[in-house]
Structure 1
């Protein structure tokens, strides 16, 4: 198969990624977008919870105010049913259940009240719409304790089922329980009421408020994000262009636009890491233009630059997509060939040598003859030497020695390191 069209097998993922290779402007933009989405979601959730808490507090305050008003009104209108005298406390012996039932149902039913308890100062339930608990003592109830100290307390619950004052059963309802103190005419605390109010009717209103408020916040966030994107689009585009330019300056040779020495050696290190971890084969070629100083002296340095550019272009055209060529020195090139043995690398070097020998480089009306020499070495990782760590410096020295041998043999030729070793 013709070399330039041969595809290199997929390489195992390299574990030596550098930070500057990971965090590109595109990745930075994606990270900012993800961060904005997270922040937006957090704002939406916080807004929904805030609306819920505010709505719940409003319902509690409203229910508590109604319960307090009703309890005071009931005590004033039916004082003789609750208290025996001006200075009396609520006493279970004074409770007329049938009269209290009638009074409570007439007074409280229209206000969505579903249960009432009347407590004596010693925490005994003197009256309740639930007859089964009359006479029991409610000890350890913090809300009741506060009410008996003169404080109004309300809490919201969700009940699976509850019967109202009209003896109708309700299911899955929201209830606000309000504890409020009862004062006798002397201004003393004579006991306490516990009034259960059905506030389920506010549930839909609260859900609507949460949904509406969340949609408003979402709409505002989308508008803000859109405006921010419109303002940031041009700077971000400029950042991407600048990053690409800086990345190219950092990795590419400015004259030839192939990899610079640092980038080529970085590629070499990654391939060596792959060999050390997974095995395989690899070859490198060092190539040097013959008598380049004479070209500079004869035709001038601009002509020498043109020769280097044309040769770099020719070398790149002879390689596969996954191969690497870099400018190693002034007129010296390094070529890394993953998954290539020494013979394959030698064939590549010979093809490059012949292409460059036949180049017609014309500068300032003059044709400049060019030739190139190559030194080749192979890196082969097998099961027998998996414990041996491959060293890049030693490999480059081997290729460089082979290149030196090619120069000594008259230039314009390719020498393999293995041939040089056998000659020794």
Structure 2
């Protein structure tokens, strides 16, 4: 009965899995299926609708969060008291962000990101005793994505980078190179930056560069900004873990660590009149650590807790033509705690709270313009013979943030939220 009760808590992760939490995190990469009864098969579906509203420095309004769906599948086989294995299919990472408004008159209009991933993981579990077990697994992970950068903020930053690069190429060897940030600030009217450029490189230098900036910015605008497409790439990843259990009280402490997964993908870029420039980008999907705990606390009542760390700061996607990182995300630390209670042989209810601390950065990436969260999920489980049906609803308060380009605030987002729903069907053969 307690094992079935534990199943009802798993739907909480499905309902709240991806509300733009933890950077690009979507599924949470749970391996809880390895603890299901041998012969268990499950399918799951989740849908998330974010509401991420903001206003840019030009007064334009945005609602950038696109709705999306999550799918999952698992099968558990083997023998529960010796060796068992599980096949888990999920979508570990993703992004769905679109900025409306004209790119000619708004700071971020035309900017968008669409990242998708799929993973198939086989996890094995070997029981060293009735309480201790070790885990190991291998996964095939596929990632692909499209990013467009547009609007006046990206126009200024990318144009400044292009002009500074060309200017630096003409400098004599050993000369101090011009920072694109300094040039960008000067172009926005910073007289200190303008004076510094003329002092370092000679009187009238900024005026000349300003003319080049105007021409480059026009080129950027008339060629629909910057476009990046990353082709699908599939790579192999690995995980290790261990678990401690006391079955009599439904206690389990399980830890799992996933290593970084290396990817190398073919790309195309378009910018400043250069169309569909081919290239290659090397990147990693992040290492992560999950710690899952559960224990019975009263008759028919289960307490659960989870911690997940994801090393997003190690993820860099630097296309050749753009020359700067498209992924600028801090590490994610997510906590959750929940309670499940069985009211009858057929029905159980669940409630869970989740939390991510906000970071300290003055600005965040426009491709993920929230910072921190509080989430509440409620759900239920209906059991009949060998079929368990779980469902859950989530509401998450997403933290306010300033979306920035080149360290400068382009838009401010507040009153952010997301609603999620999930359904999971498990059959034990």
Shorter-chain TM-score tier: under 0.3
The structure with the greater share of residues assigned to helix is 1
**Greater fraction of residues in strand:** 2
TM-score, length-normalised on structure 1?
0.20
